[in-house]
Amino acid sequence: MHDPPPTKVTILVSGNGSNLQALIDASSTTMPYVKIVRVISNRANAFGLTRARNASIPTTYHNLIAGKYHATGESDPAAKKQAREKYDADLAEKVLADGPDIVVCAGWMHILAPTFLDPLARRNVPVINLHPALPQKYDGAGAIKRAYDDYHKGKLEHDKTGIMIHYVISEVDRGAPIVVREIQCTPLETLTELENRIHQQEHTLIVEGTAMAIIKLWENRKIGVS
Ligand code: GRF
């Protein structure tokens, strides 16, 4: 099968960026059609920013407090909501300025509002995310620990958790899965061991899921579907 056309990818990170690294590595090996046009972090000290700089990828730091969207400790829910909506609208603008074909959230710890998702959808730019759980299970933060705890209470279905790459919609971790990998829990494994095992698997799945989403987006463009 032929490679897809050259594809511009923007990656959003918040932390260590090991999944970003997997994509950087793949872009010079198995996915030569991928050009990472920018890495954006909402945390200044995210090691993902260093990984991007080391690979000569442009970076942007976009933060709610540093960007003065709201003050530290803002407690008024309406003010907070408004600030986040504006923050997300500005994020969309920053992302779209590079004209990416797709956005990958790789450990991006910020819920994306419609003020981000809608402008991207209007430009037919899919947004995908990595989540360490099976579809419809353990949405949100702390998914691995919650699955681990349930396993040890005998409450984890088939003793399996997992990882998925999925399209992002405004309901957290509920968008359509692109690729899913099941992870079998075992009785003697510690939480840290399970986390490490899942992270290892994430690095291959994020590459696989990104490649699949890229193939799909070019197929859709060819037949004129958004
Ligand atoms: C991953 O485990 C991902 O599942 C979770 O955040 C972590 C990011 O890891 N949502 P890294 O920054 O890619 O190393």
Condensed to tens digits (0 to 9), the pLDDT of residues 196-208 reads 999 999 999 999 9
Average pLDDT over the chain reads 95
Position 224 scores a pLDDT of 77
Least confident residue range of 51-60, 122-131, 134-143, 167-176: 167-176
Q: Which has the higher per-residue pLDDT, 71 or 55?
A: 55
Does any ligand 1 atom lie closer than 6 A to the CB of residue 126? no
Atom of ligand 1 nearest to the CA of 15: 12
Alpha carbons 86 and 4: distance in angstroms, whole number = 34
User: CA neighbours within 13 Å on the CB side: how many for 27?
Assistant: 22
Does any ligand 1 atom lie closer than 6 A to the CB of residue 130? yes
pTM for the model: 0.95
* Contact criterion met (CB below 8 Å) for 2 and 31: no
3-state SS, residue 5: coil
Alpha carbons 69 and 72: distance in angstroms, whole number = 10
Q: How far is the CA of 19 from the centre of ligand 1 (A)?
A: 7
Q: How far is the CA of 123 from the centre of ligand 1 (A)?
A: 27
Atom of ligand 1 nearest to the CA of 106: 13
Alpha carbons 118 and 152: distance in angstroms, whole number = 40
Position 226 scores a pLDDT of 57
For residue 6, what are its two tokens?
A: 């050259």
- Residue 79 DSSP code: H
Using alpha carbons, select from 20, 92, 30, 75 the residue that is nearest to residue 53. 20
Position 2 scores a pLDDT of 86
Beta strands in the chain (DSSP E): 7-13, 34-41, 59-61, 102-105, 127-131, 160-167, 177-184
